[in-house]
Amino acid sequence: MTGRKQEFNLQLFQIVDALLLAFAFWAAYVLRLLGQHWFGMIPIGLFSDSQWMIFIIMPFGPILLELQGFYASPLQKSLGASLGQMFSASFWIALLVAGCVIFFRLQVPSRAVLPLFGFLAIVLLALRERATVALFRSRARSRARNGTHREPVLLAGSPNDIKALRQTLTPMQLIEMDIVGEIDIERQPTSELIDALHRYSVNRVIFAGGHSNMNQLQQAIGACEIEGVEAWLVANFIKTAIAKPTFDALGSLPMLVFRTTPSVSWSLLVKAFIDRIGSLLLLILMSPLMLVAFIGIKLTSPGAVIFCQQRGGKNGRPFTMYKFRSMTTDAEMRRAELESLNEMSGPVFKVGDDPRITPFGRWMRKTSIDELPQLVNVLLGDMSLVGPRPLPLYEVANFENDAQRRRLSVKPGLTCLWQISGRNKVQVFDQWVKLDLEYIDKWSVWLDIKILLKTIPAVLFGSGAR
């Protein structure tokens, strides 16, 4: 696991643990309150009288747990070690609470609440940690067993440097990564590196460049930047800064990362959340329209209702995209005879008043109803609500320059800047690419929201659709 992902997971676990600690305190109060009814214990005050302790427990609890090493190496740690760290953190929390009682004269309605809280907190934290460890190990076993969900990675550099890098990789890192090839940048031209990026749909290249010529290294990293592929440079030998680097870590090795796409962050987590929840809600809300489309296609033309096609996803990786069929069933076979009518420059094929489109299909395209099944692609994680539109694999294979490839560096989407800029009114593919690269370079959650809001009138008024 990379350092940035480790930091991201640490922050997530600390937030979850803070909420668990608050819940444990509330549950301890409820149990003590029930005790006075069930066992005739001395009555206690209102919860509001003791809720000041939550403002100590929630922020300081995770901090004290981290100081005890609770979040370090959970996969290699025994339950006994975790319990010792939690008991130690609980002791320091008790000291903090006692200090507040003494120095600020705050009230503790019942002394029994604190021991109950300590017990419940340790149980909940232990359950959370064990569940997390079990999930990680289950995912690791699954990846090791069938090789799915492993990230394709290229290693580049001199043979000796690559060999040294391989020796530092842990079994867990090798489970997460699929090393699809090695490039000797001293003997192999940059074109072979680019071919490997295309062939394996690589998301990351790790450069072990300790003994490589800096000019060759710069050319190789520059190729990755143009392609929109992350370039990770083993930087334990670097003494000076390189322009606009991002520092990260691969295990214990310091890295310089040259990114042209958003890195792991809370913003990306919000985007993923919006994608999954938004696609699910839209599938429910649009189900009446989808039923109309289903019936209309069945009644007006023979053939399947859903059109499935292989499209280029992130880094060009193929995925099956779903649409309501708006053309005749022989549309793909008739494409060659319409090549001379193509109105879009570059590798993309677009024909105005396409004779292959059925009358009902033309109405669906005008209203964008034919795109609704792609919400399933978003729900599955192949696409995003916002991102460059996915193109058929034969069009991806005909990309003419590196800028066109860089639009593949993020997940494709249902809508994009091209979509709200008139869609088919933009007939020069390079202008389309320029809009996509502008989106990639300026991406933010707020930009996604603005594009989604502008998509609504674009769809309602059929701007550029045909």
Q: Which tokens hold the place of 181?
A: 């090839």
Q: Which tokens hold the place of 229?
A: 């592929």
Helices (H), 240-321: 266-285, 287-300
CA atoms within 13 A on the CB side of 418: 24
Whole-number Å distance between alpha carbons of 21 and 30? 14
pLDDT for res 242: 43
Whole-number Å distance between alpha carbons of 362 and 356? 10
Q: Which tokens hold the place of 42?
A: 């001395």
Length of the chain counted residue by residue: 466
Of residues 87 and 263, more confidence is placed in: 87
Using DSSP's 3-state secondary structure scheme, residue 357 falls into: strand
Q: What is the pLDDT of residues 141-153, one digit of tens each?
A: 776 666 556 789 9
Using DSSP's 3-state secondary structure scheme, residue 233 falls into: strand
Q: Which tokens hold the place of 1?
A: 């696991």
Of residues 102 and 232, more confidence is placed in: 232
pLDDT for res 357: 92
Tell me what the pLDDT averaged over the chain comes to. 85
Cross-strand partners of 246:
257
Name all domains of the chain by residue range, CATH numbers in brackets. 3-145 (no CATH), 151-258 (3.40.50.720), 266-460 (no CATH)
pLDDT for res 215: 86
Q: Which long-range contacts (CB under 8 A, 24 or more apart) does 236-245 make?
A: 237/210
Longest CA span, the chain: 90
Q: Assign 346 a pLDDT band (cuts: 50, 70, 90).
A: confident
Whole-number Å distance between alpha carbons of 213 and 162? 14
Helix, strand and coil content of the chain, in percent to the nearest 5, comes to 60, 15, 30
Strands across the sheet containing 177-184 = 177-184, 151-157, 204-208, 230-234, 253-258, 246-250
Whole-number Å distance between alpha carbons of 308 and 291? 18
DSSP secondary structure letter of residue 150: P
pTM here is 0.69
Whole-number Å distance between alpha carbons of 223 and 410? 17
Q: Which residues contact 171 (CB under 8 A, 6 or more apart)?
A: none
pLDDT for res 322: 96
pLDDT for res 462: 63
Q: What is the pLDDT of residues 414-441, one digit of tens each?
A: 999 888 876 656 667 888 888 999 999 8
Q: Which tokens hold the place of 151?
A: 């990230």
Q: Which tokens hold the place of 156?
A: 């580049």
